Amino acid sequence: MSPLDLLDIDASLSEEERQIRAVVRQLVEDRVRPHVAGWYEDGQVPARELAREFGKLGLLGMHLTGYGCAGASAVAYGLACLELEAGDSGVRSLVSVQGSLAMYAIWRFGSEEQKQRWLPAMAAGEAIGCFGLTEPDHGSDPASMATRARRDGDDWILSGAKMWITNAPIADVGVIWARTDEGVRGFAVPMDTPGVTAREIRHKMSLRASLTGEIALDDVRLPADARLPEAIGLKAPLSCLTEARHGIVWGALGAARDCLEAALSYATTRTQFGRPLAGFQLTQAKLADMAVEWNKGLLLALHLGRLADAGKLRPEQVSVGKLNNVREALAIARECRTILGANGVSGEYPVMRHANNLESVLTYEGTSEIHQLVIGQRLTGLSAFA
């Protein structure tokens, strides 16, 4: 049992859940850890190669059913996200965007033809998807999106731009959200369609082991069957975000655990003033406080996962998990950095990389402020968004 499992939470997991976790952890140990520091430093990641390996293990869209998807439980998916982000947030983002955003949107709102066309290849990692909702001028306010889709005979013409889109530079299909005369609608857009341009965003200081892009849509002509027939209104993309946020609730704990394990190992082996750092009261206080918060976060994630598996998980409950767990994971990463001292900023240790990544996780899929307002609306019955 891990020394971080102060509350014996492991005993609450089924044998199957522990086995799935072990398989993903070993994959991360073998395929991610030896290379991720270099990927991060270089700002490059072999995303297609990783996607195929993840597909072989059934990690892509693993909580979906049919079409080559594994049909795993929400808790099993969460544990997989935790292990992936213990490797790197960018690696977990690859899986999360593929499965919980792009694949989920097609699985939930697409036609049978769209599902058959895209989902088996995406589940295998042979096709990469992205999710185009955020725009250059509209991040937290998707209701103000400027991307438009207009009818032209039986076709649709899309014009606009999307920004900060994970997987966009290598995507085969983009789930693009646009405003129409009938409201917000979603489209499955092959990324090689004339008029679609994806440009990689470089010089990031965070999520450097993740491919992020800007998508330009210049009068993109699509057939009528490109529209996701069941995606009607803004609730459709927001439901996809809720799906993805559940994975983040777990994933952030993976980054925090990796930081804690690094700090604990360092503190017990690094000697100052004639004794290990772990022997000092201030160091033990830091470790104790962080371990308590990590265990609380894991209990919260597990509770939300069980609710999801029972079909009872509500969006504001996911907001509680995302707000708390990402915020606490970032605090843990920063505190662990202090234990490592100057070595905390070295790429030889994972702590600063996780801290930098968590700055992005804090923002995407809803900023902390947005989740506070979601929770506030639930508490008061009053919307403070406008």
Q: CA 206 → CA 251, 315, 329, distances in Å?
A: 16, 27, 15
Sign of CA dihedral 71, 73, 77, 80: negative
Q: CA 109 → CA 54, 218, 222, 237, 315, distances in Å?
A: 24, 25, 17, 10, 18
Residue 365 annotated as catalytic:
yes
| Nearest alpha carbon to residue 350 among 118, 12, 87, 104 | 87
Q: Give me the DSSP letters along 132-156.
A: E--BTTBSS-GGG---EEEEETTEE
Between CA 251 and CA 359, with CA 31 as vertex, the angle to 5 degrees is 35
* The residue to which tokens 């849509």 are assigned: 217
> What six digits make up the tokens of 149?
């889709």
How far does CA 102 lie from the centroid of its chain?
Answer: 12
CA distance 349 to 183: 48
**Helical segments of the chain, H only:** 15-27, 36-42, 47-56, 74-87, 89-96, 104-109, 112-123, 235-269, 281-309, 315-340, 351-363, 368-380
Q: CA 337 → CA 172, 287, 325, 334, 366, distances in Å?
A: 39, 12, 18, 5, 26
Q: Give me the DSSP letters along 164-186.
A: EEETGGG-SEEEEEEEETTEEEE
Which three-class secondary structure state does DSSP give residue 157?
strand
Between CA 59 and CA 63, with CA 62 as vertex, the angle to 5 degrees is 150
From the candidates 83, 85, 335, 365, which is the catalytic residue? 365
Residue 376: how many other CB atoms lie within 10 Å: 16
Q: 366 — alpha (psi -120 to 50), left (phi > 0) or beta?
A: left
**Which residues are known to be catalytic?**
365
